[in-house]
Amino acid sequence: MLKLGVMASGGGSNFQAILDRISSGDLDACCKFLIVNNGGCGAVERARKANVPVFHISGKTHPNVAEYEAALCKVIEDAQIDLLILAGYMKALPLSVLKLLPSRILNIHPSLLPKFGGKGFWGIHVHEAVLLAHEKESGPTVHLVSKEIDGGRILAQRKVPVYSDDTPEVLAARVLEQEHDIYWRTIQEYGSSL
């Protein structure tokens, strides 16, 4: 059984999709913790309902950078996880965290990387840029996390069509639906290859 730790900042629908596949038995894993950098985000409630321990660690809870990094590292190390799963975590991970789990940190991004990735490409801005560029297709990418934002090795991608009358919100919803399916499958596949 894979031991996962999850980090999130937002609504947590990807986190929920992972929890759901764990409880259905499709994903042979358990979730040891949720770390958030925003104590009021939707992911927190989802964790509480699933009895997953929540840790709020941010610049507010730990204004001192060294203490902030030490707090993150402690939770991650204590849990002895196989994979760290970023599920809409909006902050770059410090090097000290990257070093704890080489090739064992995964992220999901809502575009076909390397297109529309890197600085400034987050949330609805990704889909706005895809529409502005008149792309014919888009879709989620699951990748390993490296020092470069959205730059680590690509593990999986799923294409969806982009229609000429799409709004960024409509496209985001089409991509998100696929995120919920591709993420747990990639976690299972990549995790069992380690």
Binding mask 70-109 for ligand GRF (x = CB under 6 A): -----------------xx-------------------xx
109 is a catalytic site residue: yes
Name the strand (E) or helix (H) holding 137. Answer: strand 137-138
Which residue of the chain is nearest ligand GRF when measured via CB?
88
In the complex with ligand GRF, the residue whose CB is nearer, 67 or 181, is 181
Q: Which of 146, 45, 29 is nearest to 86 (CA)?
A: 146
Given 58, 176, 185, 188, the residue binding ligand GRF (CB under 6 A): 176
Give the rounded distance of the alpha carbon of 66 from its chain centre.
24
| Residue owning tokens 């940190």 | 105
Binding mask 127-146 for ligand GRF (x = CB under 6 A): -------------x------
Cα 147–126–61 angle (5° rounding)? Answer: 55
Do the beta carbons of residue 72 and residue 35 sit within 8 Å?
yes
Out of 56, 62, 109, 125, pick the active-site residue. 109
In the complex with ligand GRF, the residue whose CB is nearer, 57 or 85, is 85
Per-residue buried b or exposed e for 176-191, using 16+ beta carbons within 10 Å of the residue's own CB: bebbbebbbebbbebb
* Cα 193 to Cα 155, 186, 188, distances in angstroms: 12, 10, 9
Q: Is there binding between residue 179 and ligand GRF (CB under 6 A)?
A: yes
Q: Residue 74 has which token pair?
A: 């402690």
Given 12, 117, 139, 152, the residue binding ligand GRF (CB under 6 A): 12
In the complex with ligand GRF, the residue whose CB is nearer, 14 or 186, is 14
Catalytic residue numbers, as ranges: 109
Name the site residues for ligand GRF (rule: CB under 6 A): 8, 10-15, 87-88, 108-110, 140, 176, 179
